[in-house]
A = this chain, B = another copy of it.
Amino acid sequence: MTMPKRDTYTPESLLAVAVEVFNERGYDGTSMEHLSRAAGISKSSIYHHVKGKEELLRLAISRALDGLFGILQEPEARDGRAVERLEHVTRRTTEVLMTELPYVTLLLRVRGNTDTERWAMARRRDFDHEVAELVKQAVADGDLRPDVDARLATRLLFGMINSIVEWYRPSRGGAATADEVADAVVRTAFAGLRI
């Protein structure tokens, strides 16, 4: 365990800066020049910490995926009635999305132009499929309405959750807290908007 002798960048702290810029301008719309200006070091110095632009993307995406798949390992997501497990996954996914906001945002926006991006998309699909199984089971248990296709319902549910990255900004003191948003998501998704 070595403490940094002067305050300098680590791959992690550089990643935090890079991810912010990626999310503002889009990954393809961000040049290494943009990153260097945002980080306050020269373009070539970035290569001292990371191998290149795509590694920054890979690191960010890995962090997001680790957070999401971690949810599926939690006891509340593995034991009990399917509909309860689904509610837990819904709430926790919303929470992870907000605590790891910039990383998950990046994950949700990859288009599949490189191997790294295609791998990210495949892992995301894996996660979605696991939740879709949960929905299917809950329908079979008679806990979810059977008149909406399970696959479609899963997609709409994730659509609602994932859209949080489009507007949630943790800084806003007056805005909703993570808990309040998670409550609203679970309530809206399961009970609906109407009275």
Q: Which positions in A face B, CB cutoff 8 Å? A: 24-26, 28-29, 83, 109, 111, 113, 142-145, 147-149, 152-153, 155-164, 166-167, 176, 181, 184-185, 187-195
Residues of B within 8 A of A153 (CB): 184, 188, 193
Contact A156 B185 (CB under 8 A): yes
Number of copies: 2
Residues of B within 8 A of A25 (CB): 111, 113
A interface SS class:
helix
Q: How far is the CB of A194 from chain B (nearest CB, A)?
A: 5
Residues of B within 8 A of A161 (CB): 159
Contact A155 B148 (CB under 8 A): no
Residues of B within 8 A of A191 (CB): 145, 192, 194
